[in-house]
Chains A and B, each alone.
Chain A
Amino acid sequence: DVKVTQSSRYLVKRTGEKVFLECVQDMDHENMFWYRQDPGLGLRLIYFSYDVKMKEKGDIPEGYSVSREKKERFSLILESASTNQTSMYLCASSPLAGAGTGELFFGEGSRLTVL
């Protein structure tokens, strides 16, 4: 089974703090994604990466950055956390488009509260 592991299930941070959310997948997938999940808004794509050191902005990249130094690891960074970034953050991975089923494999999520 594909496993996508998010290092922190729950975090509480203060406004202005730098926040790192880590995600590791064990299936050698090329694609990795960060979404945020908010009630009534579903999942919105923040950033994605289709290869090491490659990144692309999603629909809501403002206030976030990402890092992909190794194929299996994709980090989401909040340079200066704000209260409107309180949310559930979901990491996902998938094999190279055209080589797989189109299915995304999700981690269990990291619930971030910014005070």
Chain B
Amino acid sequence: AQSVSQHNHHVILSEAASLELGCNYSYGGTVNLFWYVQYPGQHLQLLLKYFSGDPLVKGIKGFEAEFIKSKFSFNLRKPSVQWSDTAEYFCAVEPDNAGNMLTFGGGTRLMVKP
């Protein structure tokens, strides 16, 4: 079975700092990759996804992620964070043709200080 590791459980940054959240997965086959975000008091929502093609994908609110197949990684980045980015971020993996069966990482809580 596949697994997903998010190495940073808590991250605290000041506004305008750059962000990189790590995500590694274990699965030998083709995968679809996702980052979801949960803002305080809100439901989980999709930030960005990778299915195929360009390994650098751009999502909402200035976020991007890069799929590095050789490293089984899908790290999330943002050049300059804002206070409104304070949230919990979840990486998720879906083996191709698994019918939306996602495996989630443990999440990273990001706090951005104004």
Contact = CB atoms under 8 A, between A and B. Distances in A.
Contacts of B102: 45, 104
A39 B38 CA distance: 13
How would you classify the secondary structure of chain B's contact residues: helix, strand, loop or mixed? Answer: loop
Given A31-B100, A90-B44, A94-B100, A41 B106 contact: yes
Interface residues of A, number: 27
Contact of A31 (B4, B99, B103): B99
A97 B99 contact: yes
Interface in B54-97: 90, 92, 94, 97
A74 interface: no
Nearest to B4: A42
Contacts of B44: 43, 90, 92, 104, 106
Given A107-B43, A108-B42, A108-B43, A102 B100 contact: yes
Interface in B97-114: 97-107
Interface residues of B, number: 28
B51 A102 contact: yes
A106 B44 CA distance: 6
A102 B107 contact: no
Contacts of B98: 97
Nearest to A107: B43
B45 interface: yes
A106 B90 contact: no
A17 to B, nearest CB: 26
Nearest to B6: A42
B16 interface: no
B49 A103 contact: yes
Given A31-B100, A42-B107, 9 more contacts: A4-B43, A31-B99, A40-B106, A42-B104, A42-B105, A50-B99, A103-B34, A106-B45, A108-B43
**Which 8 pairs across A and B sit closest by C-beta, in order of nearness?**
A97-B99, A43-B104, A106-B44, A42-B104, A42-B106, A94-B100, A106-B43, A108-B43
15 contacts: A39-B107, A40-B9, A40-B107, A41-B106, A42-B107, A43-B44, A48-B101, A97-B100, A102-B34, A102-B100, A103-B34, A104-B44, A106-B43, A106-B44, A106-B45
